[in-house]
A = this chain, B = another copy of it.
Amino acid sequence: MSLQEIFATRAGRMKASEIRELLKLLDQPDIISFAGGIPDPALFPKAAFQEAFADVLNGPLAGQALQYSTSEGHKPLRDWLATHMQAIGIPATPDNILITSGSQQALDYLGKLFLSPGDTALVGWPTYLGALGAFNAYEPRYDKLDPLSNRSGADYCAAAQAAGGSAKFAYLSVDFANPTGATVSRAARERVIDLAEEMDIAVIEDAAYQALRFDGEVIPPILALEAARRGGDIEECRTIYCGSFSKTLSPGLRVGWVCAAMPVIRQLVLMKQAADLHSATLNQIAITQVAETHFDAHIETIRTAYRARRDVMLDALAAHMPEGVSWTRPEGGMFIWVTLPDSLDGADLLARSLESERVAFVPGHAFFADGSGRNTLRLSYATSDEARISEGIKRLGNLIGKALDS
């Protein structure tokens, strides 16, 4: 971009101010908001962080915590994460881990690492908006990843080449994904590995919600399934796992991680060194202590709270939604995805809902790389109490009923 173009464009301002207006609106106490994509701050392990930051800043690591550190991240945190990865079936060592500033940064770096303008990224339809935002900077083309369809790797490759680039990776949010709440089945995970092998491309596994399973059968991460195929050798794996503490301990500390074969990690370390040197040292040391002492118990607390809210929202949807409306039944995470009859538009409904019902949600079309999905909504149950969830869904159901009748 040139300085002249920057001074000429006003797009940035309009978008930011629109978002700010919307947030201001949602901040009013009489709005019941299912719009947020954020965890409930009442569930942060505040006492554990108070203790950890005090311990670090008053202890022998204080000087180190305030100093520059290595780009790959704090070794004891990478040790803890390697053990955590092993517990979910991924044979990782600390050298397979890079600490990032949230998993958003991992997605940005992976876009930067793999994509040249015109290359193809295979993504779900819909998919995580932040992933599209991160990848967009590198000007890819998107193709719809549909592992259980009849399309072969050669079909995807031919389409990518016809568009003037190469297919570079398949990106999937695997468990209780943002925005749909859906989980990728074991068969689809295995098929993604087959496709990636056929195409000789990477798989980016976004596991931001992985630890938040409430019920149902645990499905191993794609990286675990691939490692099992390779005799337990992660160094032979093409899958790149992106994890985060944002949905479990705290998003405000900006600590996430990438787990992958060492050649990939080494490239990302060089990239991180050039881009921001390293993630905050103090935060990495403090979160290590919180993870070591509180992770498992805290996960149980969050799961219990979110499970109850999901159950209330599912019950309310069953009670109040008119015929023709369907929704997902997530086994974890924060989101339920609603599909309206084709005649309704999520953005129109939001405007009417804010005006007459004071209920907020996110229209679903934003999550589609091709701008489709106008008749869908994303609802989050993470930040509302159970009474407000019931009331909000009741109001929304009535509004949709009226909209269908008119």
A interface residues, Cβ below 8 angstroms from B: 1-4, 6-7, 9-10, 12-13, 15-16, 38-39, 41-42, 44, 46, 49-50, 53-54, 57-58, 62-69, 100-102, 104-105, 108, 112-114, 130, 133-134, 136-137, 166, 168-169, 200-202, 238, 246, 250-254, 261-264, 266-267, 269-271, 273-283
- Check A114–B53 contact: CB distance below 8 A: no
Known: A41-B66, A202-B3. A50 touches B46 (CB 8 A): no
Task: For the complex, give the distance between the alpha carbons of A172 and B251 in Å.
Answer: 35
Known: A270-B16, A274-B134, A276-B254. A6 touches B263 (CB 8 A): yes
Task: For the complex, give the distance between the alpha carbons of A10 and B112 in Å.
Answer: 19
- Check B44–A49 contact: CB distance below 8 A: no
In-complex Cβ contact of A277 among B102, B136, B169, B282 (8 A): B102
Residues of B within 8 A of A168 (CB): 2-3
For A235, the closest partner residue in chain B by CB is B7
- Check B266–A280 contact: CB distance below 8 A: no
Residues of B within 8 A of A273 (CB): 133
Residues of B within 8 A of A276 (CB): 100-102, 104-105, 108, 254, 276
- Check A274–B46 contact: CB distance below 8 A: no
For A114, the closest partner residue in chain B by CB is B1
15 sample A-B contacts, Cβ–Cβ < 8 Å, listed by A number: A3-B114, A3-B202, A7-B261, A9-B263, A15-B270, A41-B66, A42-B63, A53-B53, A53-B57, A65-B252, A69-B252, A137-B274, A254-B277, A254-B280, A276-B276
- Check A12–B263 contact: CB distance below 8 A: yes
Task: For the complex, give the distance between the alpha carbons of A313 and B10 in Å.
Answer: 51
In-complex Cβ contact of A269 among B16, B104, B105 (8 A): B16
- Check A3–B58 contact: CB distance below 8 A: no
- Check A136–B68 contact: CB distance below 8 A: no
- Check B283–A280 contact: CB distance below 8 A: yes
- Check B4–A200 contact: CB distance below 8 A: yes
Closest A-B pairs by Cβ, 5 of them: A12-B266, A252-B281, A41-B63, A66-B250, A133-B274
For A13, the closest partner residue in chain B by CB is B266
For A23, the closest partner residue in chain B by CB is B70
Task: For the complex, give the distance between the alpha carbons of A54 and B58 in Å.
Answer: 11
For A15, the closest partner residue in chain B by CB is B270
Residues of B within 8 A of A271 (CB): 137
- Check B50–A57 contact: CB distance below 8 A: yes
Task: For the complex, give the distance between the alpha carbons of A238 and B201 in Å.
Answer: 42
Task: For the complex, give the distance between the alpha carbons of A3 and B58 in Å.
Answer: 44
Min CB–CB distance A401 → chain B (angstroms): 34
Residues of B within 8 A of A267 (CB): 1, 6, 9, 12
Min CB–CB distance A397 → chain B (angstroms): 29
Min CB–CB distance A77 → chain B (angstroms): 14
Residues of B within 8 A of A246 (CB): 68
For A285, the closest partner residue in chain B by CB is B252
For A137, the closest partner residue in chain B by CB is B274
- Check B58–A50 contact: CB distance below 8 A: yes
Min CB–CB distance A283 → chain B (angstroms): 6
Residues of B within 8 A of A58 (CB): 50
In-complex Cβ contact of A263 among B7, B69, B113 (8 A): B7
Task: For the complex, give the distance between the alpha carbons of A133 and B272 in Å.
Answer: 10
Task: For the complex, give the distance between the alpha carbons of A7 and B273 in Å.
Answer: 20
Task: For the complex, give the distance between the alpha carbons of A250 and B282 in Å.
Answer: 10
Task: For the complex, give the distance between the alpha carbons of A283 and B134 in Å.
Answer: 24
For A115, the closest partner residue in chain B by CB is B1
- Check B166–A137 contact: CB distance below 8 A: no
For A47, the closest partner residue in chain B by CB is B57
- Check A278–B254 contact: CB distance below 8 A: yes
Residues of B within 8 A of A266 (CB): 12-13, 16
- Check B1–A113 contact: CB distance below 8 A: yes
- Check B282–A67 contact: CB distance below 8 A: no
